[in-house]
């Protein structure tokens, strides 16, 4: 199996499958070809295939293969086949997808001590995607092939999705697929194994049984534009927005705690005024957005938090302003209702939706950018001219989820099986954000509230919230030992990949099928 894993990894790394591009189709063709070549699928042609993502401008697909066993008990081997960009390689970028050549070239570079030691050891494989996460895919494919030669106790379902590194279009699109497979093949989902790479703490591998939630609040401030010489008669939206950012950025009071684990505080990614060009006047509008990571909070909770923060900022600023002004604060859903009351709204909004779809699919705009565009256009149409703060959400949205909460105390038996096979440290939540957020939710997610406050929700961005509430597949993030994800020194440990991980996964899968541990 070792040679098979290395061959698969070398061939996959050689394929540039950069996220959110048509290049992802190259790796999809490869994966489909691997499944086509397995004898099992030559005699079970309906058990594997490709599913196109509806409306996807890149034409990407989900690749799947099911090996049926004697019971309905099903273990899912899930992965993503896209990789991040290679610009960080600098002059070595031409070698980013060639593991052997990259190792040679890195040998001539000035590297930090840990990287240099790993390179000289010969125990690490370097290259874009070697660690995140084509190493994990290679192991999953090798296990699938091995089991397909003599299917026994249960079902093994391989699912490979695109776009995890961008907006998780693949996993969002796979929700209905899991329900269809469950019904069509009478599957009983017991466990999903996502072979994302793991770090180590000391000599113990970090294995996560939950995945952190993520929201992207967008705050648009409309002030009062005046000639700068009349400053005290105006309201500078940049000042207001700066105060909102300062009131939340890095605020440890907004951190969520689970045992000895904690989310990071809010981090603002973007802030700017919305003037097209310079002139001697205050800008009318400014906008910013930030990342919020969650263990428990819903979109409604986050919206309330931001409304309160904005209210306190406005109250504080009005105390020191010579000309007090009434500044309204509202969620996007309230602005939308105001706009709906205006004549011609349906025609206006239909055109706006077409425009933003073109901006994304043709012009390459991202979700935060078109969210800002929609906020501005709806604000204009509603003819709101007074100072106002609008708060909405931009995609993507990752609900927080935890397998112990999904499956109950029985999931601890899975954890015990893993720890019996491998020195591990368990984390309740993976803080790197993952597709496992769409394996099922362990509590209310206020889906309707998110929808009504996310301007681009619809054909451009959505997922089946009903299916997310129904599917509920317990999962574990258990993969090879890796380092330097998304950096030019990304690498995966050879022994972990070929000798350690495969038998651990085989033991976990077998116990799920035969010992009723979950």
Query: Does the pLDDT at position 8 exceed 70?
Result: yes
Q: Measure the CA angle with vertex 59, ends 58 and 61; round to 5°.
A: 120
CA dist 122 and 145 (Å) reads: 28
Q: Report CA-CA distances (Å) from 464 to 129, 177, 178, 449.
A: 29, 11, 12, 14
The pLDDT assigned to 442 comes to 84
- Encoded tokens for 282: 């205050």
User: Which domains are delineated in the chain?
Assistant: 2-212+399-454+461-514 (3.40.630.10), 217-393 (3.30.70.360)
Query: Does the pLDDT at position 158 exceed 80?
Result: yes
Q: What digits encode the pLDDT tens for the residues 364-397? A: 899 999 999 999 999 999 999 999 999 999 999 9
CA dist 92 and 101 (Å) reads: 10
Alpha helices (H) in 445-500, listed in sequence order: 447-452, 465-471, 494-495
Q: What digits encode the pLDDT tens for the residues 269-286? A: 999 999 999 999 999 999
The pLDDT assigned to 311 comes to 96
Max mean pLDDT among 218-227, 322-331, 438-447 falls in: 218-227
Q: How many CB atoms lie within 10 A of CB 402?
A: 24
Average pLDDT over residues 505-512: 97
Q: Compute the mean pLDDT over every residue in the chain, rounded to the nearest whole number.
A: 96
Q: Report CA-CA distances (Å) from 440 to 230, 256, 406, 475.
A: 55, 20, 8, 9
Query: Does the pLDDT at position 480 exceed 90?
Result: yes
- Encoded tokens for 307: 């409304």
The pLDDT assigned to 422 comes to 97
Residues in the chain: 518
Q: Name 217's bridge partners.
A: 393
What does pTM read for this prediction? Answer: 0.94
Q: What digits encode the pLDDT tens for the residues 312-358? A: 999 988 876 665 678 999 999 999 999 999 999 999 999 999 999 99
The pLDDT assigned to 324 comes to 67
Any residues with CB less than 8 A from the CB of 233 and at least 6 apart, and which?
224, 226, 323
CA dist 381 and 399 (Å) reads: 32
CA dist 416 and 300 (Å) reads: 36
């Amino acid at each position: 199996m070792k040679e098979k894993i290395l061959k698969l990894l070398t061939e996959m790394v050689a394929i540039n499958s950069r996220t959110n591009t048509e290049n992802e189709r190259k790796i999809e063709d490869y994966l489909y070809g691997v499944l086509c070549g397995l004898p099992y699928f030559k005699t079970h042609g309906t058990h594997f295939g490709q599913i196109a993502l509806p409306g996807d401008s890149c034409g990407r697909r989900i690749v799947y293969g099911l090996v049926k066993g004697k019971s309905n008990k099903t273990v899912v081997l899930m992965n993503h086949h896209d990789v991040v960009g290679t610009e960080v390689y600098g002059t070595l970028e031409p070698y980013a997808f060639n593991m052997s050549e990259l190792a040679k070239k890195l040998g001539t570079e000035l590297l930090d001590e840990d990287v240099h030691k790993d390179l000289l050891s010969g125990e690490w494989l370097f290259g874009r995607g070697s660690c995140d996460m084509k190493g994990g895919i290679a192991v999953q494919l090798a296990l699938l092939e091995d089991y397909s030669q003599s299917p026994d106790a249960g079902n093994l379902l391989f699912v490979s999705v695109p776009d995890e590194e961008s907006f998780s279009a693949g996993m969002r699109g796979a929700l209905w697929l899991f329900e269809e497979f469950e019904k069509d093949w009478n599957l009983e989902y017991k466990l999903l194994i996502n072979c994302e790479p793991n770090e180590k703490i000391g000599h113990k591998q970090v294995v996560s049984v939950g995945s952190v939630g993520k929201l992207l609040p967008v705050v648009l401030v409309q002030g009062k534009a005046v000639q700068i010489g009349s400053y005290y008669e105006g309201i500078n939206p940049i000042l207001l927005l700066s105060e909102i950012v300062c009131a939340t950025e890095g605020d440890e009071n907004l951190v969520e705690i689970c045992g000895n684990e904690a989310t990071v505080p809010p981090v603002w990614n973007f802030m700017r005024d919305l003037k097209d060009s310079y002139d001697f006047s205050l800008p009318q509008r400014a906008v910013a957005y930030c990342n919020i990571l969650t263990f428990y909070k819903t979109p409604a909770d986050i919206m309330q938090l931001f409304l309160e923060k904005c209210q306190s900022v406005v109250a504080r600023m009005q105390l020191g302003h010579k000309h007090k002004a009434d500044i309204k604060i509202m969620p996007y859903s309230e602005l939308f209702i105001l706009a709906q009351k205006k004549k011609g709204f349906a025609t206006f909004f239909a055109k706006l939706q077409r425009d933003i779809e073109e901006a994304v699919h043709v012009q390459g705009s991202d979700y935060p950018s078109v969210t800002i565009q929609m906020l501005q256009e709806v604000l204009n149409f509603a003819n709101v001219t007074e100072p106002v703060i609008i708060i909405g959400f931009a995609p993507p949205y990752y609900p927080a989820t935890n397998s112990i909460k999904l499956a109950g105390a029985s999931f601890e038996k899975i954890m015990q099986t893993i720890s019996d096979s491998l020195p591990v440290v368990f984390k309740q939540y993976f803080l790197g954000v993952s597709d496992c957020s769409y394996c099922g939710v362990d509590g209310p997610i206020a889906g309707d509230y998110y929808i009504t406050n996310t301007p681009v929700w619809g054909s451009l961005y959505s997922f089946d919230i009903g299916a997310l509430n129904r599917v509920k597949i317990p999962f574990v993030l258990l993969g090879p030992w890796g380092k330097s994800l998304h950096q030019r020194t990304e690498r995966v440990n050879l022994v972990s990949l070929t000798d350690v991980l495969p038998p651990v996964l085989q033991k976990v899968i077998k116990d799920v099928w035969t010992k009723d541990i979950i």
